[in-house]
Amino acid sequence: MAEIDELVRRTVASVSMIAGRAAAFSTKLLIGVVLVCVGGFLLGVAALSDGIQAVWIVLGIVFGSIAIGCAGVARWRVGAVRRHLPELTDEVRTMISEGEPESRTVIDTFVVDVDGVAPDETGEAPPNSAIVMSRQMGGFGSVAGPGLARWPRLSAAVRALATFPFLMLAAIAISLIFGFLGFIFLIALAL
């Protein structure tokens, strides 16, 4: 039983550490995306006129909403992982205790050992684990599936961490376009 408790503790600590880092990053990114998209949108409205201004308003609202929505959804999902740690702990314990074959895959995916040091009970890991974290986030998608249907919190955690990179990439890409166009609009206003 102590072996199961230790494995559960390490797994949940790893998930918590990854979700915490993702939440911190996504909060900062959400603020940046809102500032860049709203700023670029307002500069476009000020710099353009007539029919092209109407087109810009529609396109700006659509793509700005997508960028802000991606960053907001990513933040909300990874935040939910940390809010539901007790339920997640119970599900992982049940899964390991039942000896389901997918439990080994989940444990192998989440338990992060960097130079032989695993995260402690607070979820803190060595500082050089960012590379491991990014590698793992890309591999979470293969873990989620019908095998995790009995464990909704674990499935939600895997889904949140698996979709996080895509949502952040979409928000960053659209924000870069808004930033570039905002710069162009600023030059147009200055002339």
Which SS3 state, helix, strand or coil, does residue 114 take?
strand
Q: Is residue 116 part of a domain?
A: no
- The answer to whether the beta carbons of residues 142 and 42 sit under 8 Å apart is no
Q: Is residue 155 part of a domain?
A: yes
User: For the whole prediction, is pTM greater than 0.95?
Assistant: no
pLDDT the model gives residue 146: 56
Nearest alpha-carbon partner for 85 in 160, 12, 137: 12
Q: Is residue 118 part of a domain?
A: no
pLDDT the model gives residue 131: 40
Q: Is residue 119 part of a domain?
A: no
Q: Is residue 117 part of a domain?
A: no
Q: Is residue 69 part of a domain?
A: yes
Per the structure, the count of domains in the chain is: 1
Q: Is residue 28 part of a domain?
A: yes
pLDDT the model gives residue 59: 96
Q: Is residue 74 part of a domain?
A: yes
DSSP 149: T
- The answer to whether the beta carbons of residues 40 and 182 sit under 8 Å apart is yes
The stretches in the chain having pLDDT less than 50 are 112-117, 125-136, 138-139
6: domain range? Answer: 2-111+124-190
- The answer to whether the beta carbons of residues 46 and 38 sit under 8 Å apart is no
Nearest alpha-carbon partner for 33 in 86, 78, 3, 73: 73
User: Cβ–Cβ contacts within 10 Å for residue 45, how many?
Assistant: 14
